[in-house]
Amino acid sequence: MRRYWLLFAQAVTVLLAAWFVVATLKPEWLSRPSLTTYSGVALVEAPTPANAPPPAGSFRQAAQRASAAVVSITASKAPPQHPQFNDPWFRFFFGDQGNQPQVGLGSGVIISPEGYLLTNNHVVDGADEIEVTLNDSRSARAKVIGTDPETDLAVLRIELDRLPVITLGNSDALQVGDQVLAIGNPFGVGQTVTSGIVSALGRNQLGINTFENFIQTDAAINPGNSGGALVDVNGQLMGINTAIYSRSGGSMGIGFAIPVSTAKQVLEGIVREGVVRRGWIGVEPADLSPDLMETFGVKARHGVLVTGVLQSGPAAQAGLRPGDVIVDVNDKPIGNVSELLTSVAALKPGARALFKVQRRDEKLELTVTPGERPRPRPAAR
């Protein structure tokens, strides 16, 4: 009997030692679903380990890194008043018409600890007051530092301490098929994160902005997302969401974002000089077509046809003529008018640039010193 008792004691000791080792090194091996009773109903719940890593395929970390720097913007402006609004008889018959301020919602991205924000120009255009609300519920009145209607970008600034700042990525490295997240405040419901892929790059000739080089994505973008962030899987800013193609007013899987490379150029120009200075050469361009090619005797198969040259302009001084086909600007191939416009605008005024031109059967290299692009006249309201 004593022998059996000793065996039992040794077995219990070994089991306890094994349990202690497992509990110390691998506690999750001992966890099991807990049984909880709610109003007499027994439920089985999975354990929730502390500091559990995100599941495979989760964008949790990217969303957490970027979301803090994405803000909601409320822009309000006074309503237009009837010329006779102060007439007591007018107000007696028609009441206080249009006395409520017009309010618009959008999003923005904090890109500097000094309080600089990027958003869309159409979000703040004409606003009398702009209120910015952070993801941590803090709010502040924003000041417009400058706008660039030709790219639909605006730079704002707020005065707050300990501002979260987004990390700027390299939008030129994006490829079709890369996963991206769109972060903003759609319909004013609060900050929302949607996911998708890069559907296309370099979208232009859409008639949205003067300068178009959009990132197209199927991540859901809705009204209120304008000015928000398009980020990669590391939470780095790739673009500023700006527009959607829609027949219903909501997302249909075709959204457009301004690349962060364009946004940085606009930001630097506005912060340093108050305006964005762009190159200009003084030509009237046209996409190649069979009729134009026959009219001008063009032999080139790609490029942009010069149909007119401004007298004494930068292009004329460099030797460009009507009928020339611009095929390359500073080693960047040109395929259509939109690409030429964007490439020339990116040139620094006063800095010489190399243009490759085909004139009938002859290939030429011309050095053009661009001037400064005239600023667009403000649209009548």
Which of 276, 310, 334 is the last residue before a domain boundary? 276
| Boundary-marking domain end, from 222, 246, 276 | 276
| 207 and 338 fall within a common domain | no
152 is catalytic: yes
Same domain, 294 and 149: no
Same-domain status, 252 and 309: no
Total number of domains constituting the chain: 2
The three state secondary structure string of 107-148 is EEEECCCCCEEEEEHHHHCCCCEEEEECCCCCEEECEEEEEE
- State which residues form the domain around 294: 279-372
Q: What is the pLDDT of residue 380?
A: 39
Is residue 314 domain-resident?
Answer: yes
Residue 194's SS3 state is: strand
- Residue 39 covered by a domain: no
Is 226 considered catalytic here? yes
Q: Of the residues 276, 298, 323, which one is the last residue of a structural domain?
A: 276
Long-range contacts at 257-261 (CB < 8 A, ≥ 24 apart): 257/182, 257/214, 257/215, 257/217, 257/230, 258/151, 258/152, 258/153, 258/213, 258/214, 258/215, 259/171, 259/172, 259/174, 259/213, 259/214, 259/215, 260/168, 260/169, 260/170, 260/171, 261/170, 261/171, 261/172
CATH of the domain at 325: 2.30.42.10
Q: Does residue 147 sit in the same domain as residue 166?
A: yes
Residues in the chain, pLDDT under 50: 92-93, 378-381
Same domain, 237 and 318: no
* Prediction pTM value: 0.74
Residues 313 and 262 in one domain: no
Q: Is residue 27 part of a domain?
A: no
Residues 199, 262, single domain; the answer is yes
**Which listed residue (67, 171, 199, 226) is catalytic?**
226
Catalytic status, residue 76: no
Is residue 17 in a domain? Answer: no
Say whether both 287 and 268 belong to one domain: no
Query: Do 122 and 240 lie in a common domain?
Result: yes
Q: Which of 67, 107, 148, 152 is catalytic?
A: 152
Q: At residue 18, what are phi and psi to the nearest 5 degrees?
A: -65, -40
- CA 177 and chain centroid, separation: 17
Asked whether residue 42 is domain-assigned, the answer is no
Catalytic hit among 67, 107, 122, 232: 122
Same domain, 127 and 196: yes
Q: Are residues 248 and 288 in the same domain?
A: no
Structural domain includes residue 169: yes
In-domain check, residue 67: yes
Give residue 377's pLDDT.
Answer: 56
Which CATH number characterizes residue 241's domain? 2.40.10.120
Identify whether 380 is part of a domain.
no
Same domain, 288 and 239: no
Which residue type occupies 25? Answer: L
